[in-house]
Amino acid sequence: MAARIERVKGRRVWDSRGRPTVEVEVAIHGGARGRAIAPAGASTGSGEAVDLRDGGAAFGGLDVARAVGGVDAEIGSALRGMDAADQEAIDRRLIELDGTPGKQRLGGNALIATSMAVAHAAAAADGVPLWKHLARGNRPGALPLPEIQIFGGGAHAARRLDVQDFMVIAVGAEDYGTALDWTAEVYRAAGKLLAASDRIAGVADEGGFWPMFETNEEALDLLVNAIERAGFTPGEDVAISLDIAATQLGRGGQYALAREGRRLTSEDMIAMLLGWLRKYPIVAIEDPLAEDDSAGIAAFTRAAGASVEVVGDDFICTDPRRIAAAADIGACNTALIKPNQIGTLTETKAALDAARAAGWNAIVSARSGETEDVTIVHLAVGWGIEQLKVGSFTRSERMAKWNEGLRLADELPTGLKLPERGRFRW
């Protein structure tokens, strides 16, 4: 029986930075409901779907009245009567309706919240959890391996550190629950070490410590120390992963490390990162160079990609065409998958498929501006994405996602089991 859409309603709600964002609620004939909320980035790639904001004086120009209005009017009338279970037809309709390449007319935020809310509604109409609806009869994936932020920097902490995310991956943990337990211990140990040296300034946008370091290497040293203090072997039990978010550091092959007062070329950046790989137990590096430095990303991937994940975020923007083009030149070996970067679930799945076709790994990721929405955890399990990045191990918009994984374990035949490890050192 088709799940006919009866009504689509937009609503302005608030995100983890206290900024307005778009929630969409979809009602199906017969009573089923689905709801989803758009997240928002701070360090965004220029190729992302447009996050439609009103401008003007209210809330720093970030209000979403136009995006919400579009959901209530145009999107609502276009989707009414359609089958919520036919996600591809829904998303095609949304893309046609918007009619612009960057989804700037109706807004990528309005579109992704609608697309995800439709999926939730279809799952509810079918009486199954979202992950099962997304798996569509395929064997569900296991729970994803968590990648968890300990220190925040870059655009998420007023650039107190050049590197944006200092994260850990519990590579030695035998299951999802243990990976969380170990990370909780590392987070606590890092907090104690920072407090003891009077270097905590607060927490950054994604709940990681906002530390007062003078250099990026100081942060890496303390992180290794925290892993050891928590009783783990760095690299074997718990490894490090970094999001350099290098688009924020420069363009045109020129980079500035403001904290250290250094200007670097693309080659210098690569040499510095390779030096870190030799010195520290790092298993993944995201956006090592800026989005316009594809030659640099390819060179870095050639040098490091056999043993570490080279993750594309700003550089590929969850766009299947960008992923295929990156793969053609040997740039990156892992895709960061963020649904709101592309704007619909169908296109998000196409990006995942493009990554798989290239032989890449994949990491589903939240944004720095988040909410209680846990859709991405269901995507990870339903689509078999092997890693999950949602920021730190504090703050409810982050913990909602980690906790959802613990709940899903009770529904999965594989329980807390983690996926098969990829071909990288981790």
CA 70 to chain centre: 26
Residue 15 in contact with Mg ion, rule: CB under 5 A: no
Binding mask 295-334 for ligand 2PG (x = CB under 6 A): ------------------x---------------------
Binding residues for ligand 2PG restricted to 361-380, rule: CB under 6 A:
365, 367-368
Closest distance between Mg ion and the C-beta of residue 383, in Å?
A: 20
Residue 162 vs 237, nearer CB to Mg ion? 162
From the list 71-79, 80-88, 89-97, 360-368, the region that binds ligand 2PG by CB under 6 A is 360-368
User: Active-site residue among 103, 132, 338, 389?
Assistant: 338
Residue 85 vs 148, nearer CB to ligand 2PG? 148
User: Active-site residue among 185, 206, 309, 404?
Assistant: 206
Residue 114 vs 392, nearer CB to ligand 2PG? 392
Active site residue 338: yes
Binding mask 180-219 for ligand 2PG (x = CB under 6 A): --------------------------x-------------
Binding residues for Mg ion restricted to 298-327, rule: CB under 5 A:
313
Active site residue 217: no
Closest distance between ligand 2PG and the C-beta of residue 368, in Å?
A: 3
Binding mask 139-168 for ligand 2PG (x = CB under 6 A): -------------------------xx---
Closest distance between ligand 2PG and the C-beta of residue 366, in Å?
A: 7
Closest distance between ligand 2PG and the C-beta of residue 367, in Å?
A: 3
Closest distance between ligand 2PG and the C-beta of residue 117, in Å?
A: 21
Partner from Mg ion, ligand 2PG, none binding residue 42, C-beta < 5-8 Å depending on class: ligand 2PG
Helices 345-357 and 320-328, interaxial angle, to 10°? 10
Binding residues for Mg ion restricted to 182-241, rule: CB under 5 A:
none
- The binding site for ligand 2PG (CB under 6 A) comprises 41-44, 164-165, 206, 243, 245, 313, 365, 367-368
- The binding site for Mg ion (CB under 5 A) comprises 243, 286, 313
Catalytic residues: 206, 338
